Amino acid sequence: MIHSHGYAAQQSTTPLASFRFTRRDPKEHDVAIEIEFCGVCHSDIHSTRNEWGNAVYPMVPGHEIIGRVTAVGSGVSRFKVGQRVGVGVIIDSCRKCASCKNNEEQYCEVGTTLTYGMPDKYGDLTQGGYSNNIVVEEHFVHSVSTKIDPAGVAPLLCAGITTYSPLRHWKVGPGKKVGIVGLGGLGHMGLKFAHSFGAHVVQFTTSESKIEDAKRLGADEVVISKNAAAMKKEANSFDFILDTVSAVHDLNNYLPLLKRDAVYCQVGLPDQPPVIQMGNLLFKRRALAGSIIGGMAETQEMLDYCADHNIVSDIEIIPIQKINEAFERMLKSDVKYRFVIDMASLKEQ
Ligand code: NAP
Ligand code: ZN
Ligand code: ZN
């Protein structure tokens, strides 16, 4: 067994605190990784506080993992000791169903194994990246270029792929007007990608203080979503809108902004369902869609795209000891634009 040290929630109402546990020794197809950095996703808050109602404790969150390979099983061919690698939101799937065969493991019909908070095929509870090490099957490990800053790459493993995948799927590019709703961890990556793909990008935000940043990150226009007149001006004009908001908000303010036949894609996952005025869909044959992370091949494609185009997340590095404070700041939309934990800080414990 491998000894691990991380920060865990012991129940939904307690802050994260130091926690020691064990992981399996690497098996034939496993890669053992020493974690250098882990991004802080809003899903880590939803999960540790049991906002989705399926939490299992103790829970070490974290699914934006960057580290170095420390050992590989005898059947591993893609990775060597010392190599820099990344791990995202899922660490297993059936690999046999139609989705898995189509390189869309995130939609596995049997069900995926999340990086933390659920039993794996060995019966162990998975524990995530707010820790010093992890053991993951090769298929779910990504190679990461050493050309770009590893701390800035960590958020690509969730915030990056979650926005890259739907923007690619719905063919966002030149000549398209695209909206990104919410300028947080996911939102700022969605903005960077949509801009990089050549679309005309409009950032929707509730935070006036983020207007200049949105422009710097690639927005052609910024709309304060609380301003009804500014929203009305945008009616019937969008080809695609990507909604990254973590809290309940009124989608009926945004759906009328889509053109006929255009798609509103939800990636944010608030804990309560939305109320939709059906007329906002019917009268212009608009579609409301959803998307979750991306497949392993597409995640690697996204990482390579980012290395080639010098795209990383805008981050604020924190020691693990500040994680509870970071959660509170995220709940106030006060993060620019992703917290990343420097795992070296665990050694100070
Ligand atoms: P985040 O960094 O906290 O950003 C969320 C942003 O939403 C905030 O910065 C804020 O942007 C906006 N916002 C917050 N409260 C709002 C409200 N009441 N009304 C309107 N806007 C509000 O969160 P994140 O890590 O990007 O995650 C966003 C959501 O995506 C979470 O629900 C998370 O669980 C989910 N998620 C889904 C997937 C997937 O695969 N589909 C993957 C990862 C995360 P402004 O200040 O600009 O308004
Ligand atoms: Zn995430
Ligand atoms: Zn499958």
Binding site membership of 191 for ligand 1 (Cβ less than 6 Å) = no
pLDDT at 161 over 90: yes
Q: Which of 83, 87, 167 is nearest to 128 (CA)?
A: 87
pLDDT of residue 142: 98
pLDDT at 273 over 80: yes
Whole-number Å distance, alpha carbon 224 to ligand 1 midpoint, is: 16
Q: Which of 196, 160, 86 is nearest to 312 (CA)?
A: 160
Binding site membership of 180 for ligand 1 (Cβ less than 6 Å) = no
pLDDT of 278-304, one tens digit each? 999 999 999 999 999 999 999 999 999
Q: What is the Cα–Cα distance from 221 to 231, expressed in whole angstroms?
A: 12
Q: Which of 20, 6, 11 is nearest to 55 (CA)?
A: 11
Mean pLDDT score, 99-115: 98
Q: What is the Cα–Cα distance from 327 to 325, expressed in whole angstroms?
A: 5
Mean pLDDT score, 170-189: 98
Ligand (nearest to CA of 94): 3
Whole-number Å distance, alpha carbon 45 to ligand 1 midpoint, is: 11
Binding site membership of 184 for ligand 1 (Cβ less than 6 Å) = yes
pLDDT at 147 over 90: no
Q: What is the Cα–Cα distance from 64 to 41, expressed in whole angstroms?
A: 8
pLDDT at 349 over 80: no
268 and 243 in contact (C-beta within 8 Å)?
yes
Q: What percent of the chain has pLDDT over 90?
A: 98
pLDDT of residue 348: 79
pLDDT of 13-69, one tens digit each? 999 999 999 999 999 999 999 999 999 999 999 999 999 999 999 999 999 999 999
Q: pTM, whole model, 2 decimals?
A: 0.98
Mean per-residue pLDDT of the chain:
97
66 and 150 in contact (C-beta within 8 Å)?
yes
Q: Is the peptide bond before 337 cis (omega within 30 degrees of 0)?
A: yes
Beta bridge partners of 319: 342
Whole-number Å distance, alpha carbon 87 to ligand 3 midpoint, is: 18
- Is residue 287 helix, strand or coil? strand
Ligand (nearest to CA of 158): 2
pLDDT of 209-264, one tens digit each? 999 999 999 999 999 999 999 999 999 999 999 999 999 999 999 999 999 999 99
DSSP character for 158?
Answer: T
Q: Which of 38, 40, 42 to mutate to test the pocket of ligand 1 (most atoms within 8 A of CB)?
A: 42
Amino acid at 260: R
pLDDT at 162 over 80: yes
